[in-house]
Chain A
Amino acid sequence: MSKRVPRVLIAKPGLDGHDRGAKVIARALRDAGMEVIYTGLRQTPEMIAEAALQEDVDVVGLSILSGAHMTLVPRVREALNASGLNDVPIMVGGIIPDEDRAPLSALGVAGVFGPGTSTEEIRDFIERLVAAKDANG
């Protein structure tokens, strides 16, 4: 019998040093029974893609508070695709202005979570992603 545990990479690309949000999410997902690979601050897109591949994660969560999401997210997506991880979804948390949500979705970001999002919402979102992935084999 298979014992599936969702695996989530939580990474902070770019240069801002505010990792409290990332840690709160990591902790909440742990409490939701998920395995969270936490890679810490100042990750390059290449480092994120490498970790996502080696850890075989179901989703990559990026925490960005610097405002650089419109440059960082496409670069992470490219790095993931270059590693053959086209099927690994990205979710973004942080300070994301409403007008950037549509362009981020167009880049293939599966979910955008701004301030005030409940941790339950993020947990449910990941559980749905994982269920959909497993249903597609």
Chain B
Amino acid sequence: MDNLTTQLLAGNRRALARLLSQIENQVETAAEALAQLHPHTGRAWIIGVTGAPGTGKSSLVNALAQGFRQRGQTVAILAVDPTSPFSGGAILGDRIRMRDLSGDSGVFIRSMATRGSLGGLARATRDCVRLMDAAGFDVILVETVGAGQSEIDIVRTAYTTIVVEAPGLGDDVQAIKAGILEIADVLVVNKADRPGAQQTVRALRAMLELGHPVARQVSHHGQLMTVGEAPVSSALQVEDWSPIVVETVATEKKGIDALLEAIDAHRAHLQGEAFVKRQRQNIEVELLDRLQTALLERLNRSLSSEALRDMIDQVRQRQLSPQAAVGMLLSRL
């Protein structure tokens, strides 16, 4: 077995740090290391933390990690920030909010740039989580980039997804739009000491009720009838789970116990059949992703620029439709 992988399994933090870089840099030997480590993964509970910029994700991760540490669990944190589309560089500043965790050998924090990936995570995030899992951490917290309405890759990486909201970011129609709120297992209203926090909590609860109706009896024209007994679950929430809304003030560590309990409840819910199902879905998405990437790379290699230029001219001269040109290019693969 490769030296670094052996060291990683023995708990060497620098070996972990170096392998993380190798994966990010797509070094050839990284695939081999991952193959060796794969049997050692599957033990950690993976928690995603996502939400709009400025809602307090890093502070919440800081407070959550402290909470897990007080329970005696070890924590790895993967904090993703955006790469500049212009220079390819990035400023990774999530550690600023995680000072409380420094000096604790039960915590490992790694900052990561998206490197051009658009779904709120980097392409290498999944594999980096795997390394941390193999290194033996009990809990892995993955903080996404400041996410808007469509950065939902996290749900296919994490087991429990926390969506962080803050007061004053939108009305109740924002809350029922499609997107990020649909992926929440736990919804956090952070900065709950700010004005408007209660409205945000109410809007979120009302939104959840539309999607997960609570069975209740109402009197309608004197008739007692039951409404909304069948919960409607979206495609992403297959486990028939009603998201929990938690209020926190992360910088003051308020509401963190309630948040930990909500995570516990979701984890307890996601056991047995449901967990197998969730894992299968995640792996299916990952395999298809990887297949797509590999096929695209093969395509790029096999496609000669002359052949492409030839096709372009034929389409330009109206001798060939774009559809037919693609068909011909594909058939040469």
Contact = CB atoms under 8 A, between A and B. Distances in A.
B47 interface: no
Given A31-B87, A36-B90, A54 B26 contact: no
A46 interface: yes
Interface stretch (A1-9, A60-68, A97-105, A108-116): A1-9
Nearest to B77: A54
B89 A54 contact: no
A37 interface: yes
Given A31-B84, A47-B103, A84-B14, A54 B90 contact: no
B242 to A, nearest CB: 37
A79 to B, nearest CB: 11
A15 B228 CA distance: 60
B89 A2 contact: no
A4 B48 CA distance: 27
B87 A3 contact: no
A131 interface: no
A38 B92 contact: yes
Interface residues of A, number: 32
Interface string B81-119: 001101111111101100100110000111101010000
Interface stretch (B17-25, B162-170, B212-220, B252-260): B17-25
B236 interface: no
A56 B18 contact: yes
A30 B113 CA distance: 11
Contacts of A17: none
B103 A33 contact: no
A2 B91 contact: no
Nearest to A28: B89
Contact of A47 (B21, B93, B102): B102
A37 B89 CA distance: 11
- The residue in B20, B25, B89, B99 that gathers the most chain A C-beta atoms within 10 A of its C-beta is B89
Interface string B188-206: 0000000000000000000
Contacts of A54: 13, 17, 108-110
Given A2-B28, A30-B91, A33-B87, A55 B14 contact: no
A2 B26 contact: yes
Contacts of A40: 93, 95-96, 99
A29 B96 contact: no
B90 A30 contact: yes
A35 B25 contact: no
A46 B103 CA distance: 7
Interface of B: 13-14, 17-18, 20-21, 24-28, 83-84, 86-93, 95-96, 99, 102-103, 108-111, 113, 115
5 contacts: A7-B21, A32-B87, A36-B90, A53-B13, A55-B111
Interface of A: 1-5, 7, 26-27, 29-40, 44, 46-47, 50-51, 53-56, 83-85
